[in-house]
Amino acid sequence: MCHIKTPDDLNRLLRRNEPIGLLAPGVLIHRQTIVDIGGYRGQFRVAPDLDLWTRVAEQGHLILIQDAVLMKYRLHSASNVSANDTLHLIEREWIKAGMCARKERKSEPSWEMFLQQWNSAPLLTRLNRKRKMMAKHLYRRAGQALLGRRWFRGGYDLCLATLLEPKYVLSRLQMQL
C-alpha cells in the first residue's frame, strides 16, 4: 500500500510510474469518478484495484491517506494477493507499462504483448527482475510470519529480502515503523 500524505507524495509516485494501492473498503470516493474512468477492468485478475486507483490519480483526482487507523486489515496466506504473489507483482509491472503508454499517448499493451516484451528482455534484466520480485515476496512472507508470531521464519525471510533488495526493505520498514 502507498503512504500518500500530501499531494506531492501522490505526484512523486505518478512521476515514478508507481501504481497507487489503497484498501478499497476504506475508500470514500465520488461514484461518478469511478464510472467516468470505466471502473474495474476485467483483464487484471489479481491487481484490479492498483489499476483503478492509478487511473483515478492520473485523471487529476487527489488521493490522500489519513494517519488515523480506522480499519484493521487482515493479512493471511489465502488472500488473493498472497496466493498469487508472483502474478500480482507481474500485473503491477503491466500496470506500470500502461502508465508509461498513457503518458506517451500510446495504446496500453495487451497482456500478451506485455508478456512477450517481458520475456524477451535481456537475461540480466530478467534476472534482476527475479531478484526484486523474490525480495518483495520474502518481505510479504516475513510480515505474515511475524504477525503469526513465527519469529524465526519472519526474521529469516526479512534478512533474505534485505540481502536481495536492501533499499526496498529499509524504505518499507521506515514507513511502517
Residue 123 C-alpha cell reads as 537475461
First-last CA distance in the chain: 14
Residue 142: pLDDT over 80: yes
> Does residue 42 contact residue 22 with C-beta atoms inside 8 Å?
no
- Please name the residues in contact with 54: beta carbons below 8 A apart, sequence gap of 6 or more: 19, 20, 95, 99
Residues 23 and 5: their CA atoms lie apart, in Å, by 15
pLDDT number for residue 22 = 81
pTM beyond 0.85: the answer is: no
The band of 28, judged by pLDDT with boundaries at 50, 70 and 90, is confident
Write the DSSP assignment of 37-57 as a string of letters. TTSS-TT-SS-HHHHHHHHHH
Q: How many residues does the chain have?
A: 177
Residue 20: pLDDT over 70: yes
pLDDT digit string (tens) for 86-128? 898 999 999 999 999 999 999 999 999 999 999 999 999 999 9
Among 31-35, 78-82, 104-108, 148-152, the least confident range: 78-82
Sole residue written with cell 536492501: 166
Residue from 52, 5, 48 nearest 33 by CA:
52
pLDDT digit string (tens) for 58-72? 999 888 777 666 655
> How far, in whole angstroms, is CA 151 from its chain's centroid?
25
Q: Domain residue spans in the chain?
A: 1-120, 122-177
pLDDT number for residue 71 = 58
Pure H helices in 24-122: 31-36, 48-58, 80-83, 85-103, 111-119
